[in-house]
Structure 1
Amino acid sequence: MKFVFILTISVIALFSLSSLVGKTNIELKVGDQAPSFELKDQDKKFHKLSDYLGQKIVLYYFPKADTPG
């Protein structure tokens, strides 16, 4: 019983901590410079915004086909 209790508390703690990781609250205004970011494409190749400095780019986000919306 003690093991189950400790395991339950550990799992809850891990989920609580994982929800805090990666959250950033960036508020952009019109005319602000875009923050740097890195994204993975469909071929699993990473692209950084800084790689395209001085070029015009369009970022198109397509959610997975099996998700609503």
Structure 2
Amino acid sequence: MQDDELRFLEEQLAGTELLACVACGEDTLHAHLEVLEVYPVGTELLMHCTRCQTERKWMDWTPPTRQEQSN
């Protein structure tokens, strides 16, 4: 695998979370689709289940950095 292909796959994997899916009932990878809101205490994201293709909101409770808050 070439460096650019590996970098692309690493970026794709970095944009996912292993979450319990309500629709399919499995722990599956959910891809980050969109940032819905950035709060001082965390970030609300729209997630996409890679198994059953459903979407859901998810709250990442990691406080955002200054740069994320200003965007």
Q: Give the TM-score band, short-chain normalised.
A: under 0.3
Which has the larger Rg?
Answer: 1
In proportion to residue count, which structure has more strand? 2
In proportion to residue count, which structure has more helix? 1
Give the structure, 1 or 2, with the largest relative contact order (CA under 8 Å, sep 6 or more).
2
TM-score, normalisation: structure 1: 0.28
